Structure 1
């Protein structure tokens, strides 16, 4: 099929606006899947995606569609995630397309991530096809959505196609719009092989499977190819397309989206964003790459059984092939043994990675409290990057600590503006400006410390706004803050696993809460155990675990009281000596309980 009849497009939207349902309908309308294979969320291959009702990975699929002009077109669709933590998946998919369907829920209107994903598409100069989905709902307001398209996104309202992915309304119009509006891929005149690797997975039997978009030339079985970043050469074992299952083809030509299996065996050979070219006649320069993804959140992941360390290392290597934004490096902790310091894009990303480790690789893991990267200037002028509380220098050697900031765009109904402003102030943030979107909704632009939005900001936003609020954020540099390292001392011994970097104003409250949790999980000893939260040498919170009392007078029956007194004095001396030299052995499950309840 000639390149002029190929169309590559993506579906972008806010989370839960119906992207995956639309892709199901498109597969049915083009008869890519038979009635027997039909199921909801067909492109969501992971159990985790089906359970949570979200898309985590971008899924390519090739379809054939006979248009009204009588020609048969090859349509390559990439379904993308909507959650803010997976925006790198969206960016990678958009780089492999010429057009994008922008979906908007007709009942909810334009949301925060609709705006963010549209900007990603416009950066790649893609043709936008707006679709107003869920018009069958009683609450749908098509005219209001058309007005929002014009006012907020500067897209002509009359271009929007009203549709209902669930009911199958407007599907034919969407397919016709893709054929008419999305431009055909343009091939480089030199016809040299240029294929961009936009994703990879690891197959136990076939090694690394690279998902590619061919920009020029062709790739076929038996061809010698090389990856330009690593300069390694491979022999192609199989090429094919997704229908949506992997289906082998003789070759992939310019404009195609498919997969290439070469003899790549190890996890670190596949670099997402790399350019695949012919070994004999390579292209002169690689395709413009994707920007390197910087992790925003760090957490330690440790195997509960220390003998699983090597298996966990292998599992993380395989996951990293499939997820370019996930980073890891070895570290060890006196409390938790050997493990890894891992970097994530956000808290949902962290939760998904942990769940995938448990499900796909049967790993039993525990994670430490999430932290962010701080920049520290010491009094001697030395600059440090700190992502782990154990590397935080002593307070007296610090001149300045800078914490990462994020610009948060919050879209909410107008009546909740007061609650959200107080939530932002509680999280040490500030509202930069407010913008009225329509009669009912406003958009707040806030500046907040990243550490403050990590754990519960999104949950609190949803509960404050009865589920109607939505947010999106972007990195906004660093600023100086009064950050301190808070340590937990148990019987005078600092426990590194519970050390955290907190703002001085919030340290006392956090220290009290953590000390109370530790008091509940550490077993009683034969002497009083002090649990203290301290900053430098100053104790800011304390709890005590009372001693177990052994009844030493039980064997005394009758006789003089002085015998009992003598035994009690002896016990008292023993407890005093034990308090001086005794060690508290904290069981492994106590760490696990505290860290889990802290998440």
Structure 2
């Protein structure tokens, strides 16, 4: 005999077309309790794979992905229509502060269409190029993708990159024009751009306004009609793809999985293909929008699995899980992310090393694209060399460490990985300037050095073409081609050294184009380059944490700039501090921080001049002795001043 959950009578609503045992209450589905379901978990087993749609929203920054996700959640009743919902799926503090999405979020929705109840799994993805790995992992769990384009801005660089990313994974792309209600919107021109760039008929493009809700009711029917249902069979053994993880203080590692075959429920024993470790499933469920337990997860569904995985090192994104004693062929997984920017992270207080180490492990579990290697610096002590996909990725990671884990850290200037080709035919990757060989060693043992290059895509109004060409050439860029995507906008492709991208390139791009240019890049291999190591000397002693590898043509300019910045931030002491930058054994620039002088003759009122000279000579001898044994104190501002030249890789709004 069925017993319903105890909820206020006003909260109950039996849905049309829904099975009699499924009820709606407090913004979620509840199943009536029975002997088989004493926990009152949500029951989604009655929805066959044919009525499941897994889709993502992809777009450039500030084209309205998160706002559209808010309207879809309101439309399906996942959240109430309060008029105050903004970036509901952007759950991180850094996302709300910066107004951008940095972490893909999954949410499940129920929708009635033509008398049938559908289960829709939405994945909201980031829009910045630095988080493209997050997008590619999310698309692996989807069969369709909504390509959102701002009707006022038109196609941008990341729009092109995301389209080909989804198209390359075989997803059905559903184009939509957003913000058509704006006075500056030009939907006809934007539709022509989509038609020209992606060969999609303009008549197939939906016109919506995610902010006002105009046309949003057509979005989910389009997803159901155009996006295919997930493949797979319920009769086959369990095969589930792990595509995201995070750490929970109470239950340990939470795994977000896409079930490709079979089903999984509480109490099942599952096995990791990567490690062979067995786990007992403690809970399964869906994000609705928070963790909501269900009776099971079956083929085609996307949800979380808690399986008492206590160690962070046990979770491997891209891993395949299967039922105990029913092994299956492992899924291809994901190509590991290649770190393009490296930076040293050190605790301000050496006693915080262990706590910071644990914090980094937990955060990298949630962001698997970050590579971690331990490092020791003579100036900063023990720390880590972390690899990121870009400078904004690095800055967001730093902010999350400080805000979510209350850490006090120092981050060194970012560098890119270089390659050394030795005369004996061997090669070596250099991730930190400390590992770069000295000039004397290079003459005898190194054949040539190589640096990473990228192919950059710039989209901007035609009137800025001259400024963009100048920007690329001054940053050692090699122009490849440029095409007009319509009568007003140009798409320029340029081959650039990665080291130029992580400096102030993005800031100059926005400045020269008055904010109208967009930028995206992809890896383009390594090329030979004339690289040198520039060291910073303080009173003749090298500071390894301030060393940098750069192209020979940039040494003089960068050396003078760094010396000038350090002069402004290093505090005066009781002896002269000589700041020098050197490359290839030669001094490039020099600055001097003048010593503080105590007035030792203040108490000499008149008398013979020899009294004063004796005191001054004694002070001079003391200054010389102090300079020999004195140590220069480097404040944190010294490292931050070097980093300001790197910029933040560009930020933007994603709401």
| TM beyond 0.5 | yes
Measured at CA, do residues 516 and 224 of structure 1 come closer, stay the same or move farther in structure 2, by a change above 3 Å? Answer: same
Q: Which residue of 2 aligns with 1:411?
A: 459
Q: Deviations over 1:508-559 (max 9, x none)?
A: 1111111122222323333333211111321110011223323333343433
Contact 2:570 2:638 in 1 (8 A): no
User: Structure 1 CA distance, aligned partners of 2:217 and 2:534?
Assistant: 60
Q: Which residue of 1 aligns with 2:556?
A: 508
Q: Which residue of 1 aligns with 2:341?
A: 297
1:274 aligned onto 2:319? yes
Alignment of 1:580-599 (within 5 A): 581-589=628-636, 591-595=638-642, 597-599=644-646
Contact 2:565 2:642 in 1 (8 A): no
Alignment of 1:201-350 (within 5 A): 201-283=246-328, 285-350=329-394
Q: Which residue of 2 aligns with 1:101?
A: 146
Q: Which residue of 1 aligns with 2:599?
A: 551
Contact 2:562 2:642 in 1 (8 A): no
Shift of 1:598: 4.8
User: Structure 2 CA distance, aligned partners of 1:59 and 1:37?
Assistant: 21
RCO comparison, higher one (Cα < 8 Å, 6+): 2
Measured at CA, do residues 554 and 29 of structure 1 come closer, stay the same or move farther in structure 2, by a change above 3 Å? Answer: closer
Contact 1:224 1:280 in 2 (8 A): no
Of 367, 374, 395, the match for 1:351: 395
Contact 2:234 2:298 in 1 (8 A): no
Measured at CA, do residues 272 and 37 of structure 1 come closer, stay the same or move farther in structure 2, by a change above 3 Å? Answer: farther
Shift of 1:37: 9.9
Shift of 1:87: 0.8
Q: Deviations over 1:19-76 (max 9, x none)?
A: 1111111111112223469621111111211221111111111111111x21111111
Greater Cα offset, 343-352 or 509-518: 509-518
Q: Per the alignment, in what secondary structure is the counterpart of residue 72 of structure 1? A: strand
Q: Deviations over 1:129-151 (max 9, x none)?
A: 11111110112122212211211
Greater Cα offset, 546-555 or 143-152: 546-555
Q: Which residue of 2 aligns with 1:151?
A: 196
Q: Per the alignment, in what secondary structure is the counterpart of residue 214 of structure 2? A: coil
Contact 2:439 2:585 in 1 (8 A): no
Contact 1:487 1:499 in 2 (8 A): yes
Q: Which residue of 2 aligns with 1:49?
A: 95
Shift of 1:396: 2.8
1:491 aligned onto 2:539? yes
1:369 aligned onto 2:419? no
Shift of 1:270: 0.7
Measured at CA, do residues 575 and 473 of structure 1 come closer, stay the same or move farther in structure 2, by a change above 3 Å? Answer: same
Q: Deviations over 1:217-262 (max 9, x none)?
A: 0000000001111111100000001111111001001010110000
Q: Deviations over 1:81-137 (max 9, x none)?
A: 111111111111111111111111111111111111011111111111111111101
Contact 1:234 1:264 in 2 (8 A): yes
**What RMSD in Å do the two structures reach over aligned CA positions?**
1.7
Shift of 1:383: 1.9
Measured at CA, do residues 598 and 111 of structure 1 come closer, stay the same or move farther in structure 2, by a change above 3 Å? Answer: closer
Q: Which residue of 2 aligns with 1:395?
A: 439
Q: Per the alignment, in what secondary structure is the counterpart of residue 200 of structure 1? A: strand
Alignment of 1:437-448 (within 5 A): 437-448=485-496
Contact 2:546 2:639 in 1 (8 A): no
User: Structure 2 CA distance, aligned partners of 1:101 and 1:521?
Assistant: 49
Shift of 1:373: 0.4
User: Structure 2 CA distance, aligned partners of 1:501 and 1:377?
Assistant: 16
Name stretches of at least 5 consecutive residues in structure 1 with no aligned partner: none
Measured at CA, do residues 457 and 246 of structure 1 come closer, stay the same or move farther in structure 2, by a change above 3 Å? Answer: same
Q: Per the alignment, in what secondary structure is the counterpart of residue 456 of structure 1? A: helix
Q: Per the alignment, in what secondary structure is the counterpart of residue 335 of structure 2? A: coil
Shift of 1:585: 2.9
Q: Which residue of 2 aligns with 1:436?
A: 484
Q: Per the alignment, in what secondary structure is the counterpart of residue 419 of structure 1? A: helix
Greater Cα offset, 219-228 or 176-185: 176-185
Alignment of 1:94-133 (within 5 A): 94-133=139-178
Q: Per the alignment, in what secondary structure is the counterpart of residue 40 of structure 1? A: coil
Shift of 1:562: 3.0
Q: Which residue of 2 aligns with 1:30?
A: 76
Name stretches of at least 5 consecutive residues in structure 2 with no aligned partner: 1-46, 647-655
Q: Deviations over 1:330-382 (max 9, x none)?
A: 11112112111100000111011001001110011110000000001234544
Q: Which residue of 1 aligns with 2:53?
A: 7
How many residues get paired? Answer: 596
TM-score, length-scaled by structure 2: 0.88
Q: Deviations over 1:282-329 (max 9, x none)?
A: 21x111211111111000011111111111110111111111101112
Contact 1:367 1:595 in 2 (8 A): no
Contact 1:217 1:253 in 2 (8 A): yes
Of 184, 196, 199, the match for 2:244: 199
Shift of 1:595: 4.6
Measured at CA, do residues 248 and 400 of structure 1 come closer, stay the same or move farther in structure 2, by a change above 3 Å? Answer: same
Q: Deviations over 1:159-215 (max 9, x none)?
A: 111111111111221111111111111214761101111101100001011011111
User: Structure 1 CA distance, aligned partners of 2:499 and 2:148?
Assistant: 32
Measured at CA, do residues 131 and 318 of structure 1 come closer, stay the same or move farther in structure 2, by a change above 3 Å? Answer: same
1:16 aligned onto 2:62? yes
User: Structure 2 CA distance, aligned partners of 1:338 and 1:562?
Assistant: 52
Shift of 1:590: 5.2
Q: Per the alignment, in what secondary structure is the counterpart of residue 173 of structure 1? A: helix
Measured at CA, do residues 578 and 168 of structure 1 come closer, stay the same or move farther in structure 2, by a change above 3 Å? Answer: closer
